Amino acid sequence: MRIALVTDAWKPQVNGVARTLAALRGALAVAGHEAVPLTPDLFRTVPCPTQSEVRLALYPQSGLARRLDALAPEAIHIATEGPLGLAARHYCIERNLRFTTAYHTKFPEYLKARFGIPLSWSYAALRRFHARSSAVMVATETVRRELTTRGFERVVPWTRGVDVTLFRPGCAPAVDLPRPVFLCVGRVAAEKNLPLFLDLDLPGSKLLVGDGHLLSEMKRRYPRVFFAGRQEGEALVRHYASADVFVLPSRTETFGLVLLEALACGLPIAALPVAGPLDVIGGSAAGVLDWDLRAAAMAALHIPREICRSYAMRFSWRTSTEQFLSHVVPVRDPPTGSRALKSAESVTAPPLASAGGAARGPGARRWVCPRSRPVGR
């Protein structure tokens, strides 16, 4: 199956959305599907306000339409709500094509934190963006409930995985700091609530990995914190290996892919009991969730690394990919008897449901991930 993957988040961006989509593309290829990314690097771009490292496509509508016409995808997934996402949505609606979308990022909370824009305004815009989608994919049950409460429909689960071959314990540390070392990995931005972590009275050292528009300010405010900047791949793994506890102060996560990466490296988690940590950690023994983040961090020091690694092994990109495939829809209903498709009735995954629990309907079709071929590790 050929899937158009339209996204404003892609390499060289280093964030959970870009990494999730890259992993998905690889896993789909292993499963015998072709996912074609349509990304900002294919168009003229301008820097995103407050995040100059993120490039946004400039007036991509006609160019994207030409590429989609040439590609003739069997399914279209719109991963983000930026300029490319808007252009793809317009393309589909204008041609009466079906498509799916995903809600990766709490932009309303970001916009409120950075610019003071009321949540109601931003959520109204997002609700309109996703209203025509056949399925709005979200990473956790908590986020599904939140969006349903705000009037979104056809919200369905799409979990995440982690590369346990890359993210592993036992690597040589990148830095040698006084122990214990409390680590946070993420964008250095207002919505990440970093001062909550950086102001904590903790023994040992604090290590922050990431880049962003507030990095210079954070360095000035917290001279005793070790700022490692942006890290990727093996270098990032070695920074996880430098720490004893992973601390996540954010209140705006939809999942928190860094949680799985830290756990796979054997790091226990300390976080607030909010969406993301509640779903990933929950009542497991792999972390501590507490509104008192210092208490959580100190308690997490006593969690054995083996428990964290074992818990992370439960999250596979194979499961994530199968769930994604169970939700995508053909741009048009295929002819009866099409060999490329299986009916929803033959798929073992739960039926695609709306927020209220109603299935898409008897005419729905879904693709499945062949179980005879392993997906992504």
Say which range, 166-170, 189-193, 299-303, has the weakest mean pLDDT.
189-193
Instruction: State the average pLDDT over residues 203-221.
Output: 96
With a cut of 70, say whether residue 164 has pLDDT above it: yes
The whole-number pLDDT of residue 340 equals 40
**Is 239 in contact with 209 (CB distance < 8 Å)?**
yes
The whole-number pLDDT of residue 133 equals 98
Instruction: State the average pLDDT over residues 357-370.
Output: 42
Query: Domain 2-161+317-366: which topology?
Result: Rossmann fold (3.40.50)
Q: Is the dihedral of CA 251, 12, 164, 27 positive or negative?
A: positive
- Grade residue 329 by pLDDT with cuts at 50, 70 and 90: very high
Rounded alpha-carbon distances, angstroms, from residue 37 to 2, 106, 150, 239: 11, 22, 30, 30
Rounded to whole angstroms, the Cα distance separating 149 from 373 reads 38
Stronger pLDDT, 136 or 340, i.e. the higher one: 136
With a cut of 70, say whether residue 308 has pLDDT above it: yes
CATH match of 181-312 with 3.40.50.300: no
With a cut of 60, say whether residue 360 has pLDDT above it: no
Instruction: State the average pLDDT over residues 154-160.
Output: 97
Share of the chain above pLDDT 90, in %: 81
With a cut of 90, say whether residue 90 has pLDDT above it: yes
Rounded to whole angstroms, the Cα distance separating 100 from 132 reads 9
The whole-number pLDDT of residue 335 equals 63
Say which range, 10-19, 77-86, 139-148, 286-295, has the weakest mean pLDDT.
10-19
Residue-wise pLDDT tens digits, 93-112: 999 999 999 999 999 998 99
Q: Which residues of 147-181 are buried (b: 16+ CB within 10 A; e: fewer)?
A: bbebebbbbbbbbbbbbbeebbbebeebeebeebb
The whole-number pLDDT of residue 54 equals 86
The whole-number pLDDT of residue 250 equals 96
Write down the pTM of the prediction. Answer: 0.82
| Number of Cβ atoms within 10 Å of the Cβ of 345 | 9
CA neighbor of 88 nearest in space, from 61, 121, 111: 61
- Grade residue 226 by pLDDT with cuts at 50, 70 and 90: very high
The whole-number pLDDT of residue 49 equals 83
With a cut of 90, say whether residue 319 has pLDDT above it: yes
Average pLDDT in the chain:
89
Instruction: State the average pLDDT over residues 316-337.
Output: 88
With a cut of 70, say whether residue 352 has pLDDT above it: no
Residue-wise pLDDT tens digits, 339-350: 444 433 333 333
Instruction: State the average pLDDT over residues 272-284.
Output: 94
- Grade residue 176 by pLDDT with cuts at 50, 70 and 90: very high
**Is 233 in contact with 252 (CB distance < 8 Å)?**
no
Domain locations in the chain?
2-161+317-366, 181-312
Say which range, 229-243, 289-303, 326-340, has the weakest mean pLDDT.
326-340
Topology agreement, domain 2-161+317-366 and domain 181-312: yes
Instruction: State the average pLDDT over residues 24-39.
Output: 97
Q: How far is CA 376 from the centre of its chain?
A: 16
With a cut of 60, say whether residue 273 has pLDDT above it: yes
Please calculate the CA angle 13-16-21 and round it to the nearest 5 degrees: 80
With a cut of 80, say whether residue 370 has pLDDT above it: no
Share of the chain above pLDDT 70, in %: 88
The whole-number pLDDT of residue 334 equals 67
